[in-house]
Structures are given as C-alpha cells and as structure tokens.
Chains A and B, each alone.
Chain A
Amino acid sequence: MIADPTAAPVLELAHISKSFGPIVANDDISIALGRGELLALLGENGAGKTTLMSILFGHYTPDEGSVRVDGVELPHGRPRAAIKAGVGMVHQHFSLAPNLTVLENVMTGTEPLWSLRSRTGAARRKLLSIAERFGLGVDPDARLGDLSVGEQQRVEILKALYNDARILILDEPTAVLTNIEAGRLFTTLREMARQGLSLIFISHKLDEVMAAADRIVVLRGGRVAAERKAGETNKAELAELMVGHRVTRPTREPARAGATVFQASRLTVSVGGVERLKEIDFFLREGETLGIIGVSGNGQAVLSQLMGGLVAPTGGEMQLFGEAVAALDVHGLVEAGIGRIPEDRHRQGAIGEMAIWENAVLERIRQPLFSRRGIVNRSAGQAFAATIIEEFDVRGGTPTSRTRLLSGGNMQKLILGRNLYRRPKILIAAQPTRGLDEGAVAAVHARILEARRQGTAVLLISEDLDEVIGLADRIQAIVKGRLSAPVAAEEADPRRLGLMMSGDWSPGDGMLRDGTSSDRNPGEGTA
C-alpha cells in the first residue's frame, strides 16, 4: 500500500533538537510517517540517526521539539509510553534471553504478574497467528540461543508485534544479517507495510534503501539534508546527499613519497573462523599517508588490530622494511619504531588509573633509558612525560596525575606525543579524532601532517571523510573486509568516495565491484 499523502501522519517528529555538550546531534529535525509507509532514514555514522530514534522511543529527552503518535504528544523520556502508544523498536543489539524459549521471551511482562497460571496456550496461538500473517516463521518452543541471528531478529520483531505495535523502528536491521537473511527481512517489512503497519528503518546502505523504502530521508550532520521518493532518485544522488559537498581541503604540501616500508599482499585475517579481512592489498611509503575510509564495522577494527600486532594474518604476505614477516608482535613493533594510535583510547590507548608518566613510558619500559635491572627509573620517566606535556600541549595534568583525569583530546595528545616524539618510521592511526572537539581535532591533524612531512609513513583508518580527504595522499575504501584499489586524493570527490564506501566499486575505475566474487585480476589492486 502506498501511503496517502493527504491522510494524517501516524507518527510525527516535529523540530527535534538535541545536543550533547557542544556537539549538536539533532538540529531541528522534522519527519512525518504515514500509515502503511516504509521509510528509510539514511545517513553516515554520526549523522544523528540513532539519537533521533532514541528520542522517539523515549530513551533520550530532546532539548526541543515533540513526538506525536496519531496526533497525541508522547511524554519525553518514557519508553513505556512509547510502547503503549504502539511504537515498537528493534535494536541493533537484541534484548533477548538466550536460555529462554522464543515464546517465553515474547511473553515476558505481557500478563499480570500474580496470575496463578501462564496462559501459554493462548499466547502461543497469538504468536503463531502473527508469525503467519507476516511470514515470520519461527518455532515458539525453540531455545532462543539455538537460533541464528536472523531468527533472533525475527523474535525481536514478533515481540514488538505481540505488544500490538503499529509503528516499528528498526535500527540498522541488516548490520548483523547475511545477504539472504536481509532479503527475507525486507520482504517481511514490505508485507507489514502492505498490511498497514508503518515502519522506519535506519541504514547507511544505499542498495537496500533504494530497493526497499517508499521514501528516503537523508540525515547529514544532525540535519535533514534531503527527502526523496524512492522512484525519484538514484544511488549516486543519495551518496552525494549523504556525504555532502565537502571539498574544503587544508593547504598542505604534496607528498614526497619515499621507499615502501610496509606492503600487504592478499592478506586475509580470520577471527573465530570468520574472515574479517579478505585478501587485502595495500602499501605504505615514507612521507605519504594512506587513508582507509569506510562505514564502521567493515573490518577497520581488525585492520588496526593487525597493524598493532594484536592479531596475526591467516593468509597472504606482509613485508616490513622489505623483509617478509609472518606476524607483527607488539614488542617488535615498538622496537622497530612503529607508532600506534589505537581505536579506543580509553581501553587500548592508555590505562586510566595509572599516572601520565607511566602511560608515557609503558610500551618502552624495558629500554635502558627507563629501567635498569628491573628497576624503573622514575625520574627519567617523569622527565620524558614532562617533555611530552610541554611539546604536545597536553593540558589538565602533571606527569604524576592520573591519566583518566585528562579529557579525551588531551589523552589523545599524550598518546600521539609518546608515539611521535621518537619520529616513528610508520604511524598507524585508527580513528585518531573520534569524539574529539574541533580544537583537539585540529591539533591532532597538524601533528599527523607534520609527521608525514618528516618522512613518517602514515596509515590513517577513519570513518570521517573530511579527515581522510584532508590528510591522505591515497585513499582506499574498506567494505565487508575487502579493500578497494587506491585512488589519488586529488581525484577523490565526495561522490566518488561515497560510492566507494557503499561498496559500489565500478569496474571502469579499475576497481572491483562489491564483493561476492573473490576472483580478482592479478595486476589490479596496489598499482
């Protein structure tokens, strides 16, 4: 059923604004959802999609604006009110109990607590009839933990429908699904819309948005960038809308690329039996920055773990300074002068409960400068920390104060300082500015550019397109564990990068199409 534009909307989000400190997550967003409509909310990470849906579902209180269901305003910050009004939410991370059966998961909380008997018979009939109506086949008596992820998601949807949801919100529903499961999910969602339910699904995948939605709302930087009917747009336009015209590039000298210091050839990494990186090719050269762009969850984390020596490749070859190595190990990396900025600075970058000077010297504590015969040279360590604090402008702490008292930006400057102070030959920077304010971002960027000028080979893994365009000399996209061929930064306009990130690698660019086929031409790739 195609939504009737003249009918009153079932759900209305009006002028929603929400800030977290200085960061504006939602800026005056208005969206209306009609009965029987399947609406896609498209945007990059950080565009404000999840914040908006959390406001709708009552998890957050908006600074301004209102949420109306059938014209009745919902009280802010009350998930129960949203459920009662008929709004159901399917989170990316399921809210289910693996040891209980499907029926038990669905039934919890639906009966008066002190009834003498669970009316399982009636509940089973209701569940089965809903399942049949929407083609959501599932065994009510199966233990939930024995089901596949796709089936568990079906249970989450059933749970919402069992609670009489008429409006269903799905947060990145295909993120955890295989292609076949995703296809089946969209068939179900279309069927639900046809029967009069109203649905919103959040996504950053252009293909599924084009294929499934009636209408597409594009969010960018916390605002509604555009709204399109599915038939009146195309992937290229959507990619451009999603990414925006961002060509403000800081002036920087052209790269003077030197010798190749690291080369990966058809490198594969399996974690727990699943291939997280598939036959990737890339190389790093002195005085040059390689940027890896991609939507989060496409293998960036494993790539940075690989380069940080935390996981070993299961296939392919690596050459470090011209010599073949089977795996990188943490101690060896430090000794070889390879600096790392880990993705999660709080968990992997620094130990919050330890002093700043301890964090500054920790990875080099075995070197004679900082310890002798197992005795730590505290004064040398503290002097080193003081130097870093001075040179890298780390504010808010002295060498002996605890590291967790630093703000994120200053902690990052500390981590940068401990790595860059030694003039590393290679710098691995994973999401180096995630969560930092503008000032700290600028400082981190300046340091990375300076390291490159001094001859460091930089690998920059980032989800922030601006950052990659601003810093990188060559750019490769990572999609589902595969790397595209590199493009030179000068040729990288936002639209092309957007398409690369969505996995639409056209053969005309000398690139692979997105991934089901694993046969690649020799000679393509790292050229």
Chain B
Amino acid sequence: MSTFLDIVASAGLWAAVLRIATPLVFGTLGALLSERSGVLNLGIEGIMTFGAMIGWLAVFNGADLWTGMLVAALSGALFGLVHAAMTVTLGLSQHVTGLGITLFASSLSYYIFRLTVPLASTPPTVTPFQPISVPGLSDLPFIGPALFTQTLPTYLSIVIALLLAYVVYRTPLGLALRMSGENPHAAEAQGVDPIKVRYGAIMAGSALMAMGGAFLTLSAFNSFFPTMVQGRGWICIALVVFASWRPGRALFGALLFAFFDAFQLRLQTVLDNVPYQIFLMMPYILSIAALAVMARRARVPQALMQPYRRGER
C-alpha cells in the first residue's frame, strides 16, 4: 500500500500525467468540436499520425518548432476539409469516411516520411520543445516540479480547453455550433447556416487533432515513427463520450486517463513479479469502467451522424 502512496506522492508522476495528457487533450477537444456540430470524425487516428509526421518533417527541414505546429494544424484542417466535403456536402457515411481518412492519412504519413528521410539505423531527431520554468511557480516545493516544468504546447492545450469551454457555452458562435449538432433544421430556420458551421467545426477540430499528433514528435519525443500514435485517437473518441461533449470534462477525462497510464508505468518498476502486460491493460480497463458509469448520463448531440439536407425533414 505504501508503494502506491509513494508513487502518488512523487512529483514525477504528476509531471508525467500532464505530459501524457497533452496529445489526448488536443485530440479530444478536436473530436468534441466536430461532434458538437453533428459530425463524427474517425479520421482522428490518421490525422494525428499525419500531424506528427508533417510537423516533425517541417522542423527537421529547418523550420522552427511553432512553425512545425502550425504546419501540422494546417494539414489537419485540410483533412478536415476532405472529411467535411464527403460527410456534409455529399452526406456520406461518417464512419466509413472517417476510417478511410485514418487509413489514408496513416499510410500517406509513412510514404512521405520514407520518401524524404533516408533510411538510417537510428531514426533522425530534432531538438524538441524544452520545459520552461515559470518564475516563482516552478520553484515551489512539489507543486513546482509536478505542474510547472512542462513545455509550452502542454500549457497551450489547457488554455485551448478553457477557451473552448467559453466559446461553446458563452458565445453566439458556440450556440450556433450546438444548435447545428442538435437540430440543424431549427438552426437554419433561425438564420444559422449549419453547413458552414459544420465545415468550420470539422476543420478546426481536425487542426487540433493534428496538433496533438505533432506534440508527440516535437515535445514528447524527438523523432517520428509510423506507429507512434498507438490508438490515442480512439481513446480521444471515447473520452468525448466520457466527457458528455463538454470541454471542461474532456480536460478532466484526458488527465484521468493520463493518470492511470503514468501510474501503471511506475507500478511496473515497483512490482516486478507481475507481468507488465497486466499494467499496460490498466488504463484501458479503467477507462471502460469509467465510460460505463459516465456515458449512461451523456447527452448525445441529437443530430450527431445525421447528414443535413436543406428542405428535408
């Protein structure tokens, strides 16, 4: 029991929680934004992979780190445009289109990577974002090393979560977004164009997903390999449901999952007589349990996955 407490009481655990959570926060917010407008985006896994690759590649070719993030975001928006054209304008199946984008974007990432980066025994690296010290706060005992030794994109993800919560609930744009996902016919009848709203939400959401991917190669690690997203996109899709489509809860959900993950990593080193695969399963099992409890009360956007066509009811 005391080992558990030791782990929870270590500042390193909490620093790891924030780091692990960051790509999940970006991805979950992106998926949430899209789903709030009424469109599921299962392209997330591939878009995150592509963002990880293209952001890294830009930096590898001499761009600075923030430019790399921006390039990733733009590439994400482009995939979002494709998804929107297929699902909003053409009204195609959102599942099939999203999975298609994931397969396409993942493969394209590896293809571009192979074309542009020579094979080497050790993967080439870039200099990633460095932890910044916040004057005053970083020097606090425990709190400092636990919470204030992160890189800038981590803080950015939290700021975006809070900003999104404000936009969704406190602005006319957020209301238009929610109305488009709840009842696009009512939105249209009141002068909001749900098609434009959906395009915007899908593209902005996809940009956030790609930034989550880029965080992996530009902050968490310093090189790219094709399998590095490792299902984080799917976790984000589940986190949106867990969060009941609320940005604040999405942040909380991402942190909770990251906590399980960071905790099991440390547990592996302490309890070395248990197969490590057991620990690897832990965050996923706990996530499913949490989902089962939380998602029952979730209020799904009523028009989620329903294509909108003018004049049809």
Contact = CB atoms under 8 A, between A and B. Distances in A.
B227 interface: no
Contacts of B179: 97, 100, 104-105, 108-109
Given A95-B189, A97-B302, A98-B302, A108 B170 contact: no
A107 to B, nearest CB: 6
- Tell me what chain A mostly uses at the interface: helix, strand, loop, or mixed: loop
Contact count band on A: 20 to 34
A108 B171 contact: no
Nearest to A104: B175
Contact of B190 (A98, A110, A114, A115): A110
A82 B279 CA distance: 63
A191 to B, nearest CB: 25
Contacts of A96: 183, 186
A508 interface: no
B172 interface: yes
B313 interface: yes
B281 interface: no
A527 B313 CA distance: 45
- Tell me what chain B mostly uses at the interface: helix, strand, loop, or mixed: helix
Interface string B55-77: 00000000000000000000000
A114 B183 CA distance: 20
B176 interface: yes
B301 to A, nearest CB: 7
B174 to A, nearest CB: 8
Contacts of A163: 190
Contacts of A22: none
A97 B190 contact: no
Contacts of A111: 172
Nearest to A120: B170
B172 A112 contact: yes
Contact of A109 (B192, B301, B302): B192
Contacts of B178: 97, 99-100, 104
Interface in B167-210: 170-176, 178-179, 182-183, 185-187, 189-192
Interface in A68-104: 79-80, 83, 93, 95-100, 104
A113 interface: yes
A99 B170 contact: no
B183 A95 contact: yes
B309 interface: no
Contacts of B172: 107, 111-115, 118
B21 to A, nearest CB: 27
A117 interface: yes
Interface string B134-174: 00000000000000000000000000000000000011111
Given A113-B176, A114-B173, A97 B192 contact: no
Given A97-B183, A98-B182, A118 B171 contact: yes
- Residue among A96, A109, A115 with the highest chain B CB neighbour number at 10 A: A109
A117 B182 contact: no
Given A79-B189, A108-B192, A110-B190, A99 B173 contact: no
A274 interface: no
A180 interface: no
A97 B37 CA distance: 13
Contacts of A375: none
B310 to A, nearest CB: 11
Contacts of B176: 108-109, 113
B190 A108 contact: yes
Contacts of A95: 183, 185-186, 189
A85 to B, nearest CB: 14
B164 to A, nearest CB: 14
Interface string A134-160: 000000000000000000000000010
Nearest to B313: A93
A379 to B, nearest CB: 38
A50 to B, nearest CB: 13
A115 B176 CA distance: 12
Contacts of A105: 179, 186
A113 to B, nearest CB: 5
Contacts of A110: 190
Given A116-B171, A118-B170, 11 more contacts: A95-B189, A98-B182, A99-B301, A109-B191, A111-B172, A113-B173, A113-B192, A114-B173, A117-B170, A118-B172, A118-B174
26 contacts: A79-B189, A96-B186, A97-B179, A97-B186, A97-B302, A98-B182, A98-B302, A99-B178, A99-B182, A107-B172, A108-B179, A108-B187, A109-B176, A109-B190, A109-B192, A110-B190, A111-B172, A112-B172, A113-B173, A114-B172, A115-B171, A115-B173, A116-B171, A117-B171, A159-B190, A163-B190
What 10 pairs between A and B have smallest CB-CB spacing? A109-B190, A97-B182, A111-B172, A109-B191, A95-B186, A97-B183, A109-B192, A108-B179, A108-B190, A99-B299
